[in-house]
């Protein structure tokens, strides 16, 4: 489930919104709680003593929906009401394990490939900016 949340937060909003809008035509979506911005504490763990502590607050958006009677919840960092709503709809469809859940899984798999490609490209661009000090010593 965490992997799904990561993919939904990292995929492009245009692709996510278009996919959810298409799914809406096949389902009854009822908004239980409109997307709302709030603050929440960020919990972390001390690497030495393994004690939990709070880093501080972060702005998040959360939303709750029902899709064909199945509850779904969306939560993402930042002020992103559309993404949060889409996450809630997808959460409900995955939990219902209905006929469209396989389409949702296929969408998530496709987004995983696109995100991995984007990260690989970004990594390669960063690697080009690194200085090789061994080469500098030879001059």
Domain of residue 14, residue span: 2-138
Any idea which residue has 């908004």 for tokens? 31
Query: pLDDT tens-digit profile of 25-49?
Result: 999 999 999 999 999 999 999 888 8
- Residue of higher predicted confidence among 72 and 135: 72
Roughly what angle, to the nearest 10 degrees, separates helices 2-10 and 81-96?
A: 150
Could you tell me if 93 and 87 are in contact, meaning their C-beta atoms sit under 8 angstroms apart?
Answer: no
What are the phi and psi torsion angles at 113 (to 5°)?
Answer: -65, -45
**To 5 degrees, how large is the angle CA 40–CA 46–CA 51?**
85
User: Can you spell out the DSSP letters for 15-65?
Assistant: HHHHHHHHHHTTS-EEEEEEEEEEEEEEEEE-TTT--EEEEEEEEEEEEEE
Other Cβ atoms less than 10 A from the Cβ of 21: the count is: 11
Q: For the chain, how many structural domains are there in total? A: 1
Average pLDDT, integer, range 92-111: 90
Write down the pTM of the prediction: 0.82
């Amino acid at each position: 489930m965490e992997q799904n949340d990561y993919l939904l937060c990292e995929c492009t909003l245009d692709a996510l919104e278009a996919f959810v809008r298409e799914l809406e035509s096949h389902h009854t979506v009822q908004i239980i709680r409109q997307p709302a911005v709030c603050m929440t504490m960020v919990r972390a763990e001390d690497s030495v003593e393994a004690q939990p502590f709070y880093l501080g607050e972060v702005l998040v958006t959360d939303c709750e929906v029902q899709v064909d009677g199945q509850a779904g919840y969306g939560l993402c960092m930042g002020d992103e009401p559309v993404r949060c709503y889409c996450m809630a709809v997808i959460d409900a469809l995955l939990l219902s394990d209905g006929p469209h859940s396989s389409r949702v899984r296929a969408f998530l798999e496709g987004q995983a490939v696109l995100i991995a490609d984007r990260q690989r490209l970004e990594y390669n661009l960063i690697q080009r900016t690194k200085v090789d000090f061994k080469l500098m010593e030879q001059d």
